[in-house]
Chain A
């Protein structure tokens, strides 16, 4: 006993000694040596005080406080050569570090278990990082690299349909994902009805998805945060890269403005499927294409201040001769100012603009008819990151978003509806978050986000009780109306059982004040966004999750299992026969209720070696209970899929050839099929008994890809990418329809439509 006490004393004494010593901070930015891009998630530590290690933030900034002394400071991350810098710390110092890419990637890399970037240690649960470079070689439909399709291969993330870039996270609907492109919310992340995403992967640097347990700096959507960061541009030399594909081509140019200090990148993409269409006699007057443009400039004003300007503009264009024309797309712009206020305090200020609109023109004879709508945000964000000491890393800040929604308007020579007013809303949030290393093996990340949403005039708001108008509230121009306040606690922890395995858990409340109204089973560019109102309350989600993480074989393999339970409130659904287009006020068509989602996600990942890839499996259930639907009983949400399996494999055959394969299997969506039929005006009409009581057939598919990289010829690099989508030609049901038999009036029939069997693709990529 005396021994224990003695040891404790000794321990205490050392701790005190440690505190008694003078401490200094080393801080700086970590960059890629060849491109000058700042690097996120690089571990910085020293063996003397392993537990004090840190990692670089999303702007490449790090801050490490250590007792006075001499250290070997280690910088390490997967894909980069580990580098050691000897420092003598006797005052606060600045140390910027450039790391070179690991060119021996093919060989087995032994990652130190002490690596702080190690997923085992971090408190984040439900977080998946996508390596943009890693997924480059995966086969995709039409050969169009697409990060939104890649994240659908992660457990807990499900595709919204064949070839669709929409996704469901842990049972949430597609509008419950906060999709950020350089911090700017993207309201419609897809092109051409979901078959392509708005993200041109050539312009992207980092992609991360957080499945509901987001830290307090994120908010505004229930299910997930998809944080997409654009490349900053090479600040060492000019490079041009591009790709020629079957249906689209793209080109990126990047380079220094002032070497080492500032750089730019411009990346553009356009599809030309319609050029083929036009070549045919039948479709010569049609247009159907999309294009997008990403641009970013970053400037180091001085050692401690940096400015970023980034923008995105994308548009889909569709037309039939001169009778029909439609256009829609997003535009975003971000101005950011990074500032190193002190060695321990990092600040980022962002001013963000995002816009989504569509415009449809119908021209028939002498009459013109136009439908349009817009959602536009001005967004101010301030984030501070304060490294108090190695035990406490504090983040705090605020966010104000001013939303303008121009509701769907029908305009034309002949038919004009009552002019609908613009709707305005102000969304505010303040947050605080602390990552607290309680013990060497226990990290707790806790925070609070306080959010509010207020309606702002001028408009008249209708109040409904079960669809019956009970009140009308008029708000004058600029007058504040109903306001909703929400407290959103967030908590995550990680407890390391050993260097190889850990337990993580978390609880998070998220709220959502912008809602996408769509009662159709597929997404459409004309779906309407609405803000919370007198009828629509903020959607609320409470999620608890618990996971076990295990690395083995020298961290070559990572295994994880996570379970979650999510409780959803103020969920929105639609009356049977709801009319969301030609109704005076869509809010009269809405029904409200609750939901629940729970499941288990398993992931086994091999990160190094010639063969890399992962197996992801999700077992889950998602249900809703809405007053007025399914006799007010619980029913399965459409996106409920019991089993969901993805197998992803990449194999480096030799220096020039690499192969890849993707296999997916999932239970069919829960759908509503008729259980009977009856006669109405001489035609058979279908009789339905319960909501989503049936299943679509199981979906499975194998995609194969091969990449041939030509040996470098001077600066010129090129590669050929071959792929086949749905290699064994499975006829997956895209839709199942019930109809009267066209030739036999005494019968009804069931039709299955399948898309995309054996879709080959070939893409040529180059860089110089």
Chain B
């Protein structure tokens, strides 16, 4: 809702506003460890990527972190020591992603230990994908995607949606929880501020059932991507403990439907 409202002043004063790229003198920051790990209900292997942050003004080359010791254990007693398959990218060998299971990630880099835990939620099926015409603020008739699924009766389900439109990934973060629509058939529209959905576009639509830490993480990122009108920016809270690190470790279920807009 906030996002919809946020575009209104932009529309109102679109004529009067002007945008330009500027240079800003930003402070340098020390490189931070960044951990991005995922386990899904699809067959493995799964990956954990470790890199470092860089200062803002340089190109997007993120130095990989090699030589880390990376282990994943689950609450079924399995231990998996991951293999570094390319610089900074660690691959599982035996881990199997099963809904309901809890996974512990254990990383050691330069004598500093990092821990993270994530429980894969039970899968909620994406029943169908619908498209409905949506008259945007500039009266252009576009389409909006509506994933249809039945939220389970128990409160506490969190979802993330990802769209690829005609092969172009929509980089926005769409996350929802069941505070609204708990236990009901949900078909909430997903508005993409960046990419217009037109008739005959091919949409690859992924629904993930995520745990609450992952929800909070991506929800925070989505608030920050709202432009300057949004919240005071901060690093999203994550589930990594021990040493200080950015990123998230997430066990989730996934289901993708590919459909043409009609």
Contact = CB atoms under 8 A, between A and B. Distances in A.
B235 interface: yes
Contacts of A676: 28-29, 31-32, 53-56
B9 A193 contact: yes
A87 interface: no
A4 interface: no
Nearest to B216: A577
Contact of A687 (B32, B134, B232, B237): B32
Interface string B182-203: 1011111100000000000000
Given A582-B180, A689-B29, A753 B60 contact: no
Contact of B132 (A365, A521, A747, A756): A365
Interface stretch (A25-33, A250-258, A399-407, A737-745): A737-745
Interface stretch (A283-291, A479-487, A492-500): A283-291
A515 interface: no
B97 to A, nearest CB: 18
B235 to A, nearest CB: 5
Contacts of A752: 19-22
Interface in B197-251: 216-217, 219-221, 223-224, 227-237, 246-248
A680 B135 contact: no
Interface stretch (B67-75, B102-110, B121-129, B171-179): B171-179
Given A524-B5, A525-B5, A583 B179 contact: yes
Nearest to A360: B1
A282 B139 contact: yes
Nearest to A638: B232
Interface string A245-280: 000000000000000000000000000010000000
A748 B234 contact: no
B48 interface: no
Interface residues of A, number: 92
B235 A755 contact: no
A749 B184 contact: no
B8 interface: yes
Interface stretch (B10-18, B76-84, B112-120, B252-260): B10-18
A576 B235 contact: yes
Interface string A673-689: 11111111101111111
B101 interface: no
Interface in A711-753: 731, 734-738, 740, 745-753
A215 B56 CA distance: 51
B231 A578 contact: yes
A283 B139 contact: yes
B65 to A, nearest CB: 12
A629 B21 CA distance: 30
A753 B18 CA distance: 6
Most buried by B among A414, A683, A749: A414
A193 to B, nearest CB: 5
Given A687-B29, A738-B56, A692 B232 contact: yes
A320 interface: yes
B16 to A, nearest CB: 5
A341 B151 CA distance: 67
Contacts of B132: 364-365
Contacts of A67: none
B163 to A, nearest CB: 14
Contacts of B23: 750
B98 interface: no
A50 interface: no
Contact of B21 (A285, A286, A691, A751): A751
A544 B5 CA distance: 40
Given A283-B139, A520-B2, A753-B18, A673 B26 contact: yes
B13 A755 contact: yes
B139 to A, nearest CB: 5
B63 to A, nearest CB: 10
Interface stretch (A131-139, A321-329, A602-610): A321-329
A343 to B, nearest CB: 55
A318 interface: yes
B181 interface: yes
A17 interface: no
A265 B134 CA distance: 44
Contacts of B16: 755-757, 759
A320 B56 contact: no
A283 B27 contact: no
A522 interface: yes
Given A323-B134, A365-B132, A745-B60, A414 B139 contact: no
Nearest to A323: B135
Contacts of B34: 678-680
A320 B137 contact: yes
B181 A577 contact: no
6 contacts: A416-B181, A416-B184, A678-B32, A680-B248, A686-B233, A736-B24
Given A524-B2, A676-B54, 17 more contacts: A282-B139, A320-B135, A321-B135, A364-B132, A371-B1, A410-B180, A414-B185, A416-B181, A576-B237, A578-B231, A678-B52, A679-B49, A686-B233, A748-B60, A749-B21, A751-B21, A759-B16
